[in-house]
Amino acid sequence: MRYFFPKSICSLIITLGLFSVHSNQCFAQSKTITVSELKDKIAGAWIGQMIGNIYGLPHENKYVNAPGEEKWPYGYTKNLDKLKKYSGAFSDDDTDLEYMYLLQMEKFGPEPTYEQLREAWLFHIRDRVWLANRGALGLMKFGYTPPFSGSKNINPHWFQIDPQLINEIWAYTAPGMVDYAAQKSDWAARITSDSWGVEPTIHYGAMYAAAFFETDINKLIQIGLDELPPNGRYAQTIRDMIALHQKYPDKWQDAWKDMAEKYYVTEPDMTKTIWNANLNGACGILAMLYGNGDFQRTLDLSCAMGFDADNQAATVAGLMGVMYGFKALPKDLYLPVEGWTKPFNDTYINITRHELPDTTISSMIDRTLSMTLNLIISKGGKVSGKGAKEKVTINTAATFAAPLEFFIGPLPVMEVNRPIEYTFYSDANKNYNWSLVSGSVPPGTTFNKGMISGTPTAPGPYKIKIQLDNGGQKLTKDFNLLVRNTNIAASADSVLANVRVVNEVVRDSCWTTFGRSMYSKDVEVIRDGVVDGPGSVFYSLAAKTKIPKVDYYGYEWSEPQTIDMMAFHAGGMEEFGGWFTSLNVQYKNENGKWVGVTNTAINPPMPETGYLIYQPHFAEYVISFDKVTTKAIRIIGDAMIQDHWNKYTKQVSGFTSITELSVYKAVNK
C-alpha cells in the first residue's frame, strides 16, 4: 500500500525533523548530494550500462533450457575484438536510444513530449529495433503517436522486454526523486508497451532514482516494489523471486529452474517468448539477489540467467554503477584493451542509428549532468556552494505530470446502426478538460469528456474540432470521422482466397514472434468481427519455397450487391513477411470477369516502401472507390518474400497477414 502525506503535513514533518526512511512516505522533503558525487554516479550509470551491454551480448538468447555455466568471469569474449575495432564502446539498443533521448532533452528541455520523441524515433531509427520497439516504430510511421504506439490492441509485442532497456535515463536524471522517476518511466515505457509489460521499467526507474542514496540491494528492490500496483503481475513476480532466494539461499540454479518453469515453460501461449518483460525482469531480480551487491558476480549472474541476457546485464550493471559510482567499478571492465587510460577510451561510436553523432563518453556524462541539474532545479531543488563543496539539494517529493498534448491513434470504426463508445484519451491526458469547440458529431452520437458514444444513424464524413485544457494551457485539434454504411461481409455466401487454410507445418517451421494461439487455421476468420487477440489472425503461408506470390481475399454473394467501400485490417507482421507490397480492388462484371474498380483511394495510405521496419501491426486501411454492383469483390496484391537471417524463414513463400475484411453497401448520394 502506498501512502502520501499532504504537502502541509510534509512541511510540518520536515520542520520538526521527523524523517521517515521509507521512500514513499515523505521520508524527507529533500536530500543533498555534492555535484562531484552526482557526476560520478551518472558516470556509473552510463559506463555501467556499456559494460553490461557489451559484456552480455555474447549471451543474448543463449540460455533458455538451462542457465549458463558458472565459469566466471565470462569476460568480453568475441566483443573484445569489436572494442578494439572501434577503439572504444559501440552503440547498441541498450544505450543508443537513451543517448537519443538525451539529445531531445537538450533540444526541448528535460520533459520532452510524446510528439517530440516520436519525431526523434522517425528520424534516427531506421533499422536494428525489434519486437515492441519495431511495432511502435511501424505504428508511429503510420501516423500514430505514443501511447497508442504501445497499445496492446495494436502493438502485439506490448509485453516484451523493450521498454526496460531504453528508458533508464529518465530515472538517473531524477536522483532521489523516486515517485517522479517511477511515473516518468511509466509514461515513457508506453511509447512501446502496455499493461504489465511496463511494470519492470517502473521498478527499475524507482531503483535507479533511489540508488543515488541507497546501496542495499534488498532495500532498493523493496523501494521499487512499493511503486508498483500491489496486485500487479510484476509485483507478485518480485515477491516470488524474494521467496525463491530465501528457499535456495546458496543454490541460484535451483531458483532459476523454478523461475523458468513458472514464467517461461508454463507461460500462456500468447505471451510465451524468451523476450517477455516479466520473465526477464525475474531474471534481473534473481541476479541482484544472488549477486548481493558484488558488481562482477551480479554481472555474470545477469548473463547466466539467460533469455534476453544482455538487456538484464546492461540495466543491472547501470543500476550498480549508480549505487557505487564510477570510481568503484572494476577497472578491467572499462579498460579491457591495453593502452586505454580512460573508460572505453572515452569513445562512443554510433553503429546503429541514422545520424546519431559519435561522441565522447565524458561529454555524455557532462551533458547528462547538465540535464539532471536543470530538472532538479525545475522541481524545486537548488544548487549551492562552490568548487569541491558545490552541492545539490533535491526535492524528493517531486512528481511527474505528462505534458499536455493530443494522442493520435486509430479513429473509431463507426457503422450505421451499430453502437459505438470511443475515447480520444489515454490515462496520461484523461483527466484534463475535453470539449467540442466546432463541428458536429454524427447523428445518434454525443461527445462528452473526451468520449464519443451512441449509435450513428447517417453514413458519411464528419469533421470536428476538440479542445484540451489543463487549466493553464489549451490545445485544439481537428479530427475527421467517418461513419460507414452497413458491413455486408457476414452475409456473403462464401469467402474468396487463394490460400484458405494455413499450412501449419510451414508456419511452425518459421521463426515467428507471436504465440501460436494468435493464428487462425481458416480464412473464414476474416469476417468474424474480431480484430485482435487469440485466433484473430490468418497467415497465407502455404509453401516451403522461396517465391513471391499474389494473394487475394474477398466475398461472393448469390445476389448482386452495390458497394463503394472496403476496409482491410492487417494482422501481426513478421520480420520475413506478412504485408502487401501492392493493393488493388477487383470485382466480377456481368460477364464473370475480374476487373479493377475506378477512382480508388486508400486511407491512411499504405507504407511507401515494402521495407519491413515500417510495416504497422493491426493497421486498418479504408478503401473507397466508384460504386459497383456485383456478386463478387476482392482485394488483391503482391506478397513478396523478405530475406531474413534465419535459415528456415528464407525458404518460405511470400504471404500476407489479415484479421478482417469488411465490405460496405454503397451510400445513396
pLDDT tens digits, one per residue of 70-105: 999 999 999 999 999 999 999 999 999 999 999 999
pLDDT of res. 644: 63
Q: Is the pLDDT of residue 16 over 60?
A: no
Sign of CA dihedral 353, 112, 373, 328: negative
569 DSSP β-pair partners:
620, 660
CA–CA separation, 604 vs 624, rounded Å? 11
pLDDT of res. 7: 36
Contact between residue 303 and residue 59 where contact means Cβ atoms under 8 Å apart: yes
pLDDT of res. 184: 98
Longest dimension (CA), the chain: 92
Tell me: the pLDDT tens digits for 255-312?
999 999 999 999 999 999 999 999 999 999 999 999 999 999 999 999 999 999 999 9
Using pLDDT thresholds of 50, 70 and 90, give the confidence band for residue 648: low
Tell me whether the omega of the peptide bond preceding residue 607 falls within 30 degrees of 0, making it cis.
no
121: cell is 524515433
Contact between residue 136 and residue 167 where contact means Cβ atoms under 8 Å apart: no
Using pLDDT thresholds of 50, 70 and 90, give the confidence band for residue 653: confident
pLDDT of res. 138: 95
Q: Is the pLDDT of residue 14 over 50?
A: no
Q: Is the pLDDT of residue 15 over 60?
A: no
Q: Is the pLDDT of residue 355 over 50?
A: yes
Using pLDDT thresholds of 50, 70 and 90, give the confidence band for residue 354: very high
- Our measurement of the distance from residue 634's CA atom to the centroid of its chain's CA atoms, rounded to an integer in Å, reads 34
CA–CA separation, 476 vs 442, rounded Å? 19
Rg (CA), the chain: 27
Q: Cβ of 513: how many Cβ atoms within 10 Å? A: 18
CA–CA separation, 418 vs 454, rounded Å? 8
CB proximity list for 459: less than 8 A, separation 6 or greater: 416, 483, 484, 485, 667
pLDDT of res. 281: 98
Query: Residues 594-611: what's their mean pLDDT?
Result: 92
CB proximity list for 102: less than 8 A, separation 6 or greater: 169, 364, 367, 368, 371
Q: What is the pTM of this model?
A: 0.94
What pairing do the DSSP bridges indicate for beta strands 348-349 and 549-570? unpaired
DSSP state of 288: H
Map residue 295 onto helix, strand or coil: helix
CA angle 306, 152, 287 (to 5 degrees): 20
CB proximity list for 645: less than 8 A, separation 6 or greater: none
Q: Is the pLDDT of residue 6 over 50?
A: no
**Can you give the length of the chain in residues?**
669
Q: Is the pLDDT of residue 506 over 90?
A: no
pLDDT of res. 300: 98
Q: Starting from the edge strand earliest in sequence, which strands make up the sheet with 414-415, in order?
A: 414-415, 474-484, 460-469, 433-439
Highest mean pLDDT among 126-130, 468-472, 583-587: 583-587
Using pLDDT thresholds of 50, 70 and 90, give the confidence band for residue 395: very high
Using pLDDT thresholds of 50, 70 and 90, give the confidence band for residue 507: confident
What percentage of the chain reaches a pLDDT higher than 70?
94
Task: Please measure the distance between the N-terminal and C-terminal CA atoms of the chain and give it in whole angstroms.
Answer: 60
Q: Is the pLDDT of residue 10 over 80?
A: no
State how far the alpha carbon of 606 is from the alpha carbons of 116, 139, 373, 580, in Å: 24, 12, 44, 9
CB proximity list for 404: less than 8 A, separation 6 or greater: 429, 432, 468, 470, 473, 475
State how far the alpha carbon of 622 is from the alpha carbons of 369, 414, 567, in Å: 48, 12, 4
User: In terms of DSSP H, where are the helices of 211-251?
Assistant: 217-226, 233-247
What pairing do the DSSP bridges indicate for beta strands 657-665 and 537-539? antiparallel
Query: Residues 231-248: what's their mean pLDDT?
Result: 98
Look over the chain and give the mean of its residue pLDDT values, rounded to a whole number: 93
Contact between residue 313 and residue 303 where contact means Cβ atoms under 8 Å apart: yes
Using pLDDT thresholds of 50, 70 and 90, give the confidence band for residue 649: low
Using pLDDT thresholds of 50, 70 and 90, give the confidence band for residue 244: very high
Q: Is the pLDDT of residue 248 over 80?
A: yes
